[in-house]
Amino acid sequence: MGKGDRRTKRGKIWRGSHGKTRTKKGKRTVSTTAAA
């Protein structure tokens, strides 16, 4: 966990990458329209 971890949302923001934990639309909650 932490900035270096690409599996956490924090790590993704720090890296500038996107994925399941950090979608391109998502603000804070990923569960809202995660399938769409």
Give 5-30 pLDDT, tens digit per residue: 767 777 677 777 777 776 777 555 54
Give burial (CB, 10 Å; 0-12/13-18/19+) of 25: exposed
Of 36 and 25, the structure prediction assigns the larger pLDDT to 25
Provide the domain limits for residue 26: 1-36
Measure the CA angle with vertex 23, ends 4 and 6; round to 5°.
15
Residue 5 is predicted with a pLDDT of 72
- pTM, rounded to two decimals: 0.38
Which structure tokens are listed for 31?
Answer: 């569960």
Residue 36 is predicted with a pLDDT of 47
Count of domains observed in the chain: 1
3-class secondary structure, 29: coil
**Number of CB atoms found within 10 A of residue 12's CB:** 19
